[in-house]
Structure 1
Amino acid sequence: MEEVQMSEELFWLLDGSRLECKQGDAMMLLTVTEDLWPHIAMISAGEIVALDRRCLRLALWPGTTTTGNMIRTGKATLAAFAGGKAHYLRLLLEELPELPDAEYPRTRFAASVAASRTDTAKYADILTGVTIRLNNPAEVLERWERTLDELMR
């Protein structure tokens, strides 16, 4: 891992704006289970926001394996694809207080970038990472907007 801040391309993906353009982008969030197995979950642009190139906030569903792993270890790795590159962030996590008036209750985390790496290949172009299609874009985008607003509090 090289620098301790995310790249400009990744920051653009995670800046919390233009969600309608990012609704198909999904990223991989990796944690470690109690029995030391890697655990992979998907996270969308509506569940993570970069405050700057070193600090992020994440909103995860309560009670999931990923959420439990993050609470227990205080660590996760984000793998994302943007700007024709693969981006990997090692994150140090701190659970944030619950928002009693949250419209969509989530377990919230503050994250700092502990390490960052951008990966490219000279012999190939990375065209896409995980791509999704929302079943009900209007409903999901509204929920994402509110979730990101609540993450900023």
Structure 2
Amino acid sequence: MSKSLDQISKQIKKLLKAERDSSGMPSVDNLKAIAKLIVEARQDHFTNKVGDPDLKGQSWAYRQWAKEAFLDGEDSSLAARVRFHTGNALREIVPAEQLKEAGLLPSSPKERSKKVNNSIANLNHIINGGGKLSPDELPQALEILAKLSKRIPDKNRDDLKAIFK
């Protein structure tokens, strides 16, 4: 049997008041627990315009509840952390087909963040790696140069040509 909305709200408030990290935010474990409670609330207590569970948290009723349950008086960085962990919890709990039907991406914020970080690390390695580019890195380096060259104003193109002579 699912918890009542009041029970979920009380649990969230308790977790928000519990252990905090050095920055004054709830611990990661508490944020993850809050996220799972939010997913439970969205699945069991809120619906979208067509009557399906409000997995995106877009209904007016959900937003009002969220404001009262955990956002009221909290700063935006906490809200961002809660959204991040809620996105991850949705992908752990809700079946992929239901996520797709709700218009949510199949990859979690954690997976998307990891992909972006890997891309940045790869770019950094190509630019700052030292030594000669490997055969695998050369196409990426040329793509970077091609994109950068499009951003150089016409009046500075001769300077660029001189550098590469």
* Higher helix proportion (structure 1 or 2): 2
More strand by share: 1
The two structures have a TM-score, normalised by structure 1, of 0.24
TM-score by length of 2: 0.23
Q: Which has the larger radius of gyration?
A: 2
